[in-house]
Structure 1
Amino acid sequence: MKKSVLSVLTFFVLALMLSAQGKTIQLFNGKNLKGWEVLNGTAEYKVVDNEIVGTSKMGTPNTFLATKKEYTNFILEYEIFLGRGLNSGVQIRSHSTPEYHNGRVHGLQVEADDSPRKWFGGLYDEARKGWRYPLEYNPKVKTAYKQGQWNKIKVIASGNRIATWVNGINCTNLYEESVETGFIGLQVHGIGKSKDKAGKTIKWRNIELTEVPDDYEFKTTAPAINYALNTLSQEEQANGWKLLWDGTTTKGWRGAKRDDFPDKGWSVKDGILTVHASGGGESEHGGDIVTTKPFRNFILEVDFKFTEGANSGIKYFVDTNLNKGTGSAIGCEFQILDDKNHKDAKKGVDGNRTLSSLYDLIRGDAQEYIPSLYTKKYVNKGGWNRARIVVNGQKVQHFLNGCKMVEYVRGTQQWRALVKYSKYKDWPNFGEAEEGLILLQDHGDEVHFKNIKIKELD
């Protein structure tokens, strides 16, 4: 009797789950491009043998084949065959509106990447926010992509959560700051004047979508990366993350040279903490702010946005008793700088004062750790960037937008040699404290902060 009741209950639960999902539809009928439209560029899309074939072309920007219908919450599955050396992707929840750069396609993209960096299946925000989930957050899945073969992709978007799978392997687990409704779009990436890439093809087939509710539950194995405003996901809370700033008050912070929070120079509005411009001087207006408690071993994340020509920083191992005179409090610094428009980028040694660097000591350069990258650093100019600082004993790492930029070990002969030839040479045992405060710098320029969170390590 008990088994019978359980069977009925199991059937009822499964029926409810299935009824919550919509009917699976074929976005591509295998015959023509009905229901789709070409946006932005002039690369060609055509149907061949039940496949959509996009061909790369010189002299055109990115070209997208977009669904005319928009979707919010769904399971999207498709197969893709990517030509050697090409970059492509599939847009989800994306947009093309006259008011945004004259209709330029923008929104979240499931990356299709045939380059040595192997970020196939990562999540990139096209023409807007930049990288949201590069596979440096989950490097063990870089082998999921099969070069020169058909690859099966699965995407689940439910509420503000998006996850991707490549050939059955979960690659990403992203919590976005908002829920969007938009089209699905296939991309033929612009190739500029690269003759060797002209005429190469990207193919898609078996493109199907099932709409789901916004509270659709699903399991992932990929690490959670969260951009929801000043909010921790359940996964983050379970893994020991805590908000270092609550998004509304100044609780937990004080001025570096005072016992309370500065009464000028800083403001809190709409979940954003802002240090205001005051002429570019170092700690001359509101002054630096620091946490009210010290930290020893931790992972710190801070989202920041700098204005044109701005200078600031995130410091750690700060001891506010070291410098009670003019200037900033003393500590190791993750440099925040507009490299293009601030003169400090050309000072120091070998770029060690540029964005993400360990200020005046070690240059921030992702190519040192990810040699296949196209650039030394991915920077969302004019937008939000994410700093991550990892301290585990004497070992320290800086990350910018998911990419490692700096790694060093404190207290070694090499460390002390670096300090000896830096601006910190006069501070005894600089950077070797077991613990210290965390600091956000007032350097007289307008810089914004949000999503300040920390995970303390054993």
Structure 2
Amino acid sequence: MKLKLLLLCQLIAYGAFCQNWQSLSDGKNLKNWEKHGGNATYALEDGVITGTAVTNSPNTFLFTKETYSDFILELEVLLPNHLNSGIQIRSHLKDNDVTYGYQFEIDPSARNFSGGIYDEQRRGWLYPLSMNQQAQDAFVLAAWNKIRIECLDNEIRTYINGKMCSYLIDDVDSEGHIGLQVHSIGEAEKGFLVKWKNIKILTTDVADHVWDADPTVPQISYLKNQLTDWEKSHGWYLLWDGKTTSGWRGAKLDEFPEKGWQMENGELTVLASDGGESTGGGDIVTKKKYGDFELEVEFKITEGANSGIKYFVDPALNKGAGSAIGCEFQVLDDEKHPDAKLGVMGNRTVGSLYDLIAADNLTTPGRGKQFKGVGQWNKARIVSRNGKVEHWLNNEKVVEYDRFSQMFQALVNYSKYQKWDNFGKWPEGSILLQDHGNRVSFRSIKIREL
């Protein structure tokens, strides 16, 4: 009897849950939707929405008239060809009918970023699947794929065919439209199309129905100078608290520089001087030293700027003119600063291991580095573990090397670093933010020891 009552309660609860789902299409017409942007066509037949791409058209979007904040969205997507597509969430329109906002990517290319999160017409990739490679095979071309998108507070989680793809934390948009994208095409892609069906949304008691996150999927956060609970539980802590000099000093000083650095609006900024190395406020370093670690820093450069994020730094090696000595993640305006054309084969460009290894997109060869531009926030990530070091620029790998290898030693021997014994091989060192005489800002500086 008790078992029957339990089953009855479960069925009642399940029925109530099902009743809370709302269909975004009645299967008869698209009266709850509006087309924006380009000239692609959308048609509804037998409950299936078909978007057909046309040439000489920008991206086209079919938007819900209603906006949504916290929700769970489920639908099925069929891509019979290699047409790039996507699903907009919490998105908006500019005055010129251009869509911007979060996009669930549908990517049939060899890159396999389906399920990643892209910020359309704004910041670009926020969660590329370079950060979760195990989900790159989740989307199946020429088959119906079950999509699930969960938006709750500042969290966005995505799933394809039950496999978790993205785990994003971002507080830029808390509500907006849902949209179905038909990407722009060239002549060779004429006739390409994408189909959607069974589009439904849950907007009540969302927190009670989100799935448990896959513990193997990394979280990417864009909160400013804050740590999420996930980050704290995984050992992350802030290297800069967003407002004080705690934990930092001048590379050639016992204290933090009295001039040349500014802390304002949650940004740590080295001020412009004469464009020289450490001629303003000078480099700053962490008081603590690190060996195996994972470091993340957001940086924003001004036009023509040069700076760097150094690690395995020994401030005692250079007390004279110039910068402190250590391995460097180059921060540079490749277009306007002359240093980009110096060195060897681009090894002084943004993301490079300065003067040693040129940055290149190792995630998607041939695609180029994903630098978001001057005046925009870019994310640097440096991972050091058991001698293996990686540089990541905006969550795509651009450099990897073994600091104890013969190859690394050979590179050092033919560089400006050859005069320092065991350069790059020291067991630990400080983290450094460089003063190179140009205005550059940093924020959300965080680290975990491995």
User: For this structure pair, what is the TM-score category when the shorter chain's length is used for normalisation?
Assistant: over 0.9
Query: 1:325 offset after TM fit, Å?
Result: 0.8
Query: 1:118 offset after TM fit, Å?
Result: 0.6
Aligned residue type for 1:431: G
Match of 2:201 in 1: 209
Distance in 2, Cα, partners of 1:28 & 1:22: 16
Match of 1:198 in 2: 190
Aligned residue type for 2:400: E
Query: 1:364 offset after TM fit, Å?
Result: 0.7
Distance in 2, Cα, partners of 1:22 & 1:93: 23
Q: 2:72–2:206: 8 Å Cα contact kept in structure 1?
A: no
Q: Deviations over 1:256-286 (max 9, x none)?
A: 1111111222111222211122232211101
Distance in 2, Cα, partners of 1:24 & 1:360: 57
Match of 1:302 in 2: 297
Aligned residue type for 1:294: K
Match of 1:176 in 2: 170
Q: Deviations over 1:210-264 (max 9, x none)?
A: 1145755641112111111111111111111111111121111111111111122
Indicate the larger mover: 22-31 or 330-339.
Answer: 22-31
Match of 2:74 in 1: 77
Match of 1:187 in 2: 181
1:117-156 matches, cutoff 5 A:
117-156=111-150
Aligned residue type for 1:397: E
Query: 1:141 offset after TM fit, Å?
Result: 1.2
Query: How many equivalent residue pairs?
Result: 444
Query: 1:76 offset after TM fit, Å?
Result: 0.4
Match of 2:444 in 1: 451
Query: 1:106 offset after TM fit, Å?
Result: 0.7
Question: Does the residue aligned with 1:442 lie in a helix, a strand or coil?
Answer: coil
Indicate the larger mover: 109-118 or 243-252.
Answer: 243-252
Distance in 2, Cα, partners of 1:227 & 1:190: 29
Query: 1:412 offset after TM fit, Å?
Result: 2.2
Aligned residue type for 1:200: F
Match of 2:395 in 1: 402
Cα distance 1:16–1:330, how it changes in 2: closer, same or farther (>3 A)?
A: farther
Question: Does the residue aligned with 1:28 lie in a helix, a strand or coil?
Answer: coil
Aligned residue type for 2:193: T
Indicate the larger mover: 172-181 or 143-152.
Answer: 172-181
1:234 and 2:226 matched: no
Q: 1:275–1:447: 8 Å Cα contact kept in structure 2?
A: yes
Distance in 2, Cα, partners of 1:243 & 1:18: 44
Give the counterpart of 1:350 among 345, 363, 386. Answer: 345
Unaligned runs of 5+ in 2: none
1:52-131 matches, cutoff 5 A:
52-98=49-95, 102-131=96-125
Give the counterpart of 2:247 among 243, 248, 252. Answer: 252
Q: 2:117–2:126: 8 Å Cα contact kept in structure 1?
A: yes
Q: 1:22–1:211: 8 Å Cα contact kept in structure 2?
A: no
CA RMSD, aligned part only? 2.3
Aligned residue type for 1:424: Y
Indicate the larger mover: 236-245 or 109-118.
Answer: 236-245
Match of 1:32 in 2: 29
Cα distance 1:428–1:186, how it changes in 2: closer, same or farther (>3 A)?
A: same
TM-score, normalisation: structure 2:
0.94
TM-score, normalisation: structure 1:
0.92
Cα distance 1:212–1:339, how it changes in 2: closer, same or farther (>3 A)?
A: farther
Distance in 2, Cα, partners of 1:387 & 1:110: 23
Query: 1:85 offset after TM fit, Å?
Result: 2.1
Cα distance 1:106–1:187, how it changes in 2: closer, same or farther (>3 A)?
A: same
Aligned residue type for 1:146: V
Match of 2:313 in 1: 318
Query: 1:84 offset after TM fit, Å?
Result: 2.2
Query: 1:24 offset after TM fit, Å?
Result: 1.3
Aligned residue type for 1:440: L
Distance in 2, Cα, partners of 1:57 & 1:403: 31
Distance in 1, Cα, partners of 2:293 & 2:305: 27
Q: 1:73–1:213: 8 Å Cα contact kept in structure 2?
A: no
Cα distance 1:89–1:369, how it changes in 2: closer, same or farther (>3 A)?
A: closer
**Identity across aligned pairs (percent)?**
52
Distance in 1, Cα, partners of 2:441 & 2:334: 17
Distance in 2, Cα, partners of 1:17 & 1:26: 16
Q: 2:82–2:192: 8 Å Cα contact kept in structure 1?
A: no
Question: Does the residue aligned with 1:76 lie in a helix, a strand or coil?
Answer: strand
Unaligned runs of 5+ in 1: none
Cα distance 1:245–1:212, how it changes in 2: closer, same or farther (>3 A)?
A: farther
Distance in 1, Cα, partners of 2:212 & 2:340: 44
Distance in 2, Cα, partners of 1:316 & 1:42: 50
Distance in 2, Cα, partners of 1:167 & 1:16: 21
Distance in 2, Cα, partners of 1:72 & 1:17: 24
Indicate the larger mover: 313-322 or 39-48.
Answer: 39-48
